[in-house]
Every structure is written in C-alpha cells, then in structure tokens.
Structure 1
Amino acid sequence: MDKPFSLYLDVVRFTAAVLVVLSHFVQHGLLGGVDSHPMLLFGREAVIVFFVLSGFVIAYSSAEGRLSLRQYVLARSARIYSVVLPLVAACFLLASVAVAWYGADVNNAYQLKKLHIYAPLHLLFMGELWNLAETPPWLMQYWSLGYEVWYYVLFAIGFYLRGARRLVWGGVALLVMGPKLWLLLPVWLAGVALYACGTPWPLGRWPARVGWLATIALLLAYKHAGADLYLRELGTSLWAFPFIKLGSADRYLADYVVCILVYLHFMFARQAALCALEALARPIRALAA
C-alpha cells in the first residue's frame, strides 16, 4: 500500500470516528435537536465506512503480513480487548453509580442486576446474534462490534482453513451469526474485495481526483435528500420474515448504497496520488491512533 493512500485511510478513520461521536451527541440532544443538525447525523454512514475499512485492513494485514492463524487471533484479540475491557467495565460502573446515587434513567439498566449474564454476552460480542439486540448501558454504538468481530471470525475461517474444515466451520459461524449479520456481511466483504481486486479500472491522477470528489458530493446529496430514510422504510417493508427482527440491520438497503459509494471513493482515492498528505504524516498518524 503506497504511503499517500495509507495516510488517507487514517484521515478517513479519524473523520468517521468524529462523525460517530457527533451523531451520538445530536441523538442525545447534547448539540441541540435532530432537526437542528440534520447534516451531523452521519453516524450510520460512518459505521459503514468503518466496516469497509475493516474488511480492507484485515485482508491486507493477513495477506501482506503473512500472519499465521494463531498470530491473527492474538493480534485481533489484543487490539479489540485492550479497548473493550476497560470501556465495558467503565460503562457498567458509571451506570451503577448513576442509578444508585442519582436515580438516573439509564438505558438498559436492567443489565446491572444480571451482570453474570450481560458482561460475558458483551465481551463475547453476542448482543446482535439472531433476535438479540443488547448493548451495554450508555454504549449504543457497541452494536457494530457485534457484527465486526464475527466477520473477523468468518474471515479467519475462509482465509486460513481448507477443504471440509472451511465448509463446516464456515457453516457453523454463519448459523451462529444469524440474519442481521448476514445482511451487512456484503458491506464488510466489500473491503476485502477492495484489497483483493486492487485497481480494476486504472485511471489517471486527475480523473481519479474527480471521481474522489464526486463520491463525496453524491454522499452529501444522498443524505440531504433523505434517501436513507426512504430506503430504511422500503427495506423494512420488503423484509419477509416478521419473526426475525431487523433491529440494527433495518437500514440494510441504505447501507448497500453507502457501501457502493465508499468502495468507489476508496478506489478513486487509491489512484488520486494525494501526496500532499505526506507533509502531515505525523499528526495524521497520531490522530488515527
């Protein structure tokens, strides 16, 4: 991966993280009402960016780094749990204090009385399997990890195992995951395809830059027009399995549209020769970390 594109992915990662936080603040009224800041509500789109990025980075690091299965598991586990363990512990602790001392109305407060069930559930990322829809108190965005970690598992099975073992364990993983995770799996796999396919349509620097800017403009126009809301309603109406709750996957049609735009955006950025970013390499790496 060339340095300008690597730096650009770091810029996108930081920007997506900021958008998730801003969206969270708006939804909770900390930056005014939803109607006051409609263009700040890019949290879902930012999550889709993370999914595509995740698929790309996992495929790249596994192939280029020539990791063994054991190294892959250790690397993923260390990266995930170094953040998740203190984060989940802090959420449960602060929620307990808020409820016990201040009588605060905390979402999912019922989990505090059954920590022996919900703590393992969240630490094993099982909150989005099938009809489950559980996130830790005050940590609504945790739902995305309930998808992403299982995609890591499925990738490891497909990448490292062979023959009947791959088929059997892949089938078991898919069966455990359930329909919600199946619906957004193509989004994550788009990132894998971005790495595997390279640049299928070679472009010059300036055509690539035009495409890069055009995909940003299309995403802004798509959001401004409220197309995501229409697609959310359409996806719900088309869902033919009422006994299976869509939950956090209810925007699957909108997610596919955003995924296509993100895929094209990265494909253009890869060929746009964004060399100016190299002068800002140190602060970019620091922010992305």
Structure 2
Amino acid sequence: MNNQAGGAHAHVLDTARDPSLDPSFSLYLDAARGLAALAVVVAHFGYFRILDDAQIARLPDFGREAVIAFFVLSGFVIAYSVRHKHRSLADYAAARAARLYSVVLPVLLLAFALATLVRHATGLPVSDAYELGKPWLYIPFHLAFQGDTWGFAERPPWLLPYWSLDYEAWYYVLFGCWHFLAGRRRWLAAGAVLLLVGPRLWLLLPVWLSGVALYRWQQGHVLGRTVARAGWLATVVLVALWGWCDPEPWLRGVAQQWWPFAGIRMGSADRVLADYPVALLVWVNFACARHAGFGIVLARLARPIRFLAAHTFTLYLSHALVIGVWQTLLPIERGSAHEIVAIAVAIALTALALNPLTEVLRKRLLRGFEGMLARAPALRTP
C-alpha cells in the first residue's frame, strides 16, 4: 500500500519481500483504502448538511464502516511492517511518529490558524472556538492524541475525523510495547498504556488487532479461487444490506445502556456493537480478496488506484477543514449541484497541495526521530 502517511492511510507493501502479498492484493488494499476515504468524505457531505434531505436519503452512509476498514487495514499494515521493515523499537517508533506527524502537524496548525483568523476577522462563530483561546494548551494536547482518553471528548477546530487518530496512535504505542518488549517490561508497559488511555480505547482495540490477526492468518492459509470469490461477493452483499437496514442506531442505544462507566461519555466508541460485525465482514472480505484473482482488473487501474491511495491521509484529515471554513464563510444552498462540485473540488485541491509538503516533512521528521532515538541504544536492540 502507498507510502504517504501513517497506519491504514499509508505504506506500499513490498511484495518482493513477502511473496504471500502479491501485487494484486497490494493494489486491492490500496483501492479499499482509497474508497474508504471517499466514503468518509461523502458521509460528511451528509453530516454537515451540504446534501439535502432527499440526497441524504438516497445515499447510504458508510462513513463509520469506512473508518472500521481503516482500523483493520492499520493493524494489518503494522503487522507487516514489524516483520519486514522495523526490527527494533527505535526504528518502529521513528517510522510511526514520522508518518503521523507529517500530516497531523501541518493540518492541525492550519486548522488553528485559519479558525483564529476567521474568528477575529469576521466575528463569525467557529466550532470548538474555546480551544482557540489556549492554543499553547490544546495544540500539544491534540499532538499527544489525548482527545478520547478517559473523560475527554475533544476535537480540534474543524477536524472532526481527528478522533480516529486518537485511537490509532495509541494502538501503535501499545503494539510496539507488546511486540518489542519481553517479560515483565512487556506487561508493565502494555498495562501502563491501557491504563493511560481509558476504557473507550479498549473497546475498539479488538477491531485494530483483527488486522494483525489477518496478516498472521493469511501467512499460512490459502483459499480456493471459487471459495474466495464467493466469500468476497457475500461480504459485499452483506455490507450493502447492513447499510440498507442500518441497525446501528439500535445497537448504539444498547451499548450506551450497557456502558458501566457512568462518569465517562462513550463518545466515539458508542457504535462499538455495530463496529464488531462490520470489522468481521471487512476481515473476511480482505481474506477472500487475497485469493480471488482480481489481478487483471486491478492492474488496468493501477495508476489511479496508487494515486488515490497516496492522498488518502491528507484527504481524510483535511476535508472537514475545507468544509468547516466554507460553511463558516459562505452560505450553502443545500443540495445545490454546483456547490457540491465546488466544495468537492476545493477538497481535492487541498489534499493535492498538502501532499508534497507532508512527504518532505515525513522524511525530515524521520531523520530527526531516528537521530533522537539513536541516543537510546536499548531501543535499537531487535
């Protein structure tokens, strides 16, 4: 998968190093990630009321399902990376931090700068404007991915998708502790991380770990092409039925009733009972796609798939910023075709403009983190 940013939003899988991951499967995962990013954007066109009610009714909302697919992909990619790329905790930590912050840092700073400028220049209300009064507190807070730990439910201005990074970043930390440490140190470090992040992040951890399990499972299992295609088609049909029936609101109510921590809001984890079956469908879909023989079709679309995959992280994180600025400064005629197209073009141009910057920043951050961690020889022990 592509090499632009962190977790499920990045990495080209080196099929030469891992024969079980052939080029067609790598392309499939890139396509899945690109489509998931587009699904989130479309879902937010409904969430932010850019589409009218009739359009929202016609378009199934797969935004949350797309994020769950990202989580499964993230676990898969991280399991691959520690097998073939990052053989020490220092290498792993430097790579993960550089991937995340290469996109998070410029987009987060841009969000705070634009929100502050708009608020002071126009006097218009800005979402989460209270954070603008204390950027010295909230910018480091968000860079530490604390927005969903324990009782917090904080988002940066105009960056609604940031919540998933608050989960994913800590799953990187937890996995790194467990994979690279041993004995008592492993248990103490993993326990400390779990205690630090709180119960909401515990709930979606099995979803992320299912991606790790998928990578390890497919190392030793092969499906016949007929079975793989039938399984793949079944998961597509079941996902479509899931979107049509939409059991999520009922399951969310059940989850909130069962939530044992009265003083802590469920926040972004309140859909957990729906997330588990969706994660299972994604898991089976990926497992079947590996052996379904989609290579010829995917090879013909390789260039657009790789191009879209290269921009998924910037697209995922920055699109809500574009929507937030647009909604604040300009009145939106809901459902207007020309406004939908104009906002979509603005989102695409923003992602395209940010992408070269984030790649340069990633390389510089990687060198910086590697140099810093080189001073800790214990972290460089395989």
Q: For residue 281 of structure 1, what is the aligned residue in structure 2?
A: 302
Q: For residue 222 of structure 1, what is the aligned residue in structure 2?
A: 242
Deviation, 1:31, is 2.1
2:86–2:92: 8 Å Cα contact kept in structure 1?
no
Q: For residue 68 of structure 2, what is the aligned residue in structure 1?
A: 48
- Cα distance change on mapping 1:264 and 1:126 into 2, 3 Å: same
Q: What is the TM-score with the length of structure 1 in the denominator?
A: 0.96
3-state SS of paired residue (1:26) = helix
Deviation, 1:188, is 0.2
Q: For residue 29 of structure 1, what is the aligned residue in structure 2?
A: 49
1:209–1:269: 8 Å Cα contact kept in structure 2?
yes
2:278 to 258, 261, 269: 258
Once the two structures are superposed, the pairs formed by residues 57-68 of structure 1 within 5 Å of their partners are: 57-68=77-88
Letter paired with 1:246: M
Q: 2-side partners of 1:248 and 1:185: how far apart?
A: 13
Letter paired with 2:94: L
Deviation, 1:34, is 8.0
Once the two structures are superposed, the pairs formed by residues 39-118 of structure 1 within 5 Å of their partners are: 39-118=59-138
Deviation, 1:279, is 2.8
Q: Is 1:238 paired with 2:258?
A: yes
Structure 1 window deviating more from structure 2 (249-258 vs 60-69): it is: 60-69
Structure 1 window deviating more from structure 2 (203-212 vs 176-185): it is: 203-212
Structure 1 window deviating more from structure 2 (26-35 vs 53-62): it is: 26-35
Deviation, 1:235, is 1.1
Q: Is 1:120 paired with 2:103?
A: no
2:289 to 269, 275, 288: 269
2:68–2:278: 8 Å Cα contact kept in structure 1?
yes
- Cα distance change on mapping 1:108 and 1:266 into 2, 3 Å: same
Deviations 1:13-55 (A, max 9, x none): 0000001111112111112248734634211111000000000
Q: 1-side partners of 2:278 and 2:255: how far apart?
A: 14
Q: List alignment gaps of at least 5 residues for structure 2.
A: 1-20, 311-382
3-state SS of paired residue (2:155) = coil
- Cα distance change on mapping 1:260 and 1:149 into 2, 3 Å: same
1:129–1:177: 8 Å Cα contact kept in structure 2?
yes
Aligned length: 289
3-state SS of paired residue (1:271) = coil
Q: 2-side partners of 1:286 and 1:206: how far apart?
A: 30
Q: 1-side partners of 2:193 and 2:148: how far apart?
A: 14
2:38 to 18, 25, 44: 18
Q: 1-side partners of 2:164 and 2:156: how far apart?
A: 12
1:26–1:34: 8 Å Cα contact kept in structure 2?
no
Q: 2-side partners of 1:66 and 1:114: how far apart?
A: 37
Q: 1-side partners of 2:207 and 2:58: how far apart?
A: 24
Deviation, 1:200, is 6.5
3-state SS of paired residue (1:146) = helix
Q: For residue 187 of structure 2, what is the aligned residue in structure 1?
A: 167
Letter paired with 2:147: G
1:13–1:50: 8 Å Cα contact kept in structure 2?
yes
Deviations 1:55-104 (A, max 9, x none): 00000111122432111111111111110111001111111122112222
Q: Is 1:8 paired with 2:28?
A: yes
Q: Is 1:140 paired with 2:160?
A: yes
3-state SS of paired residue (1:135) = coil
2:128–2:156: 8 Å Cα contact kept in structure 1?
yes
Q: List alignment gaps of at least 5 residues for structure 1.
A: none
2:60–2:244: 8 Å Cα contact kept in structure 1?
no
Deviation, 1:12, is 0.4
Letter paired with 1:288: A
Deviations 1:120-162 (A, max 9, x none): 0001111110110011000011000000000000000011001
1:186 to 193, 196, 206: 206
Q: 1-side partners of 2:59 and 2:274: how far apart?
A: 16
Q: 2-side partners of 1:34 and 1:245: how far apart?
A: 32
Deviation, 1:221, is 0.5
Letter paired with 1:134: E
3-state SS of paired residue (1:52) = helix
1:27–1:34: 8 Å Cα contact kept in structure 2?
no
1:26–1:37: 8 Å Cα contact kept in structure 2?
no
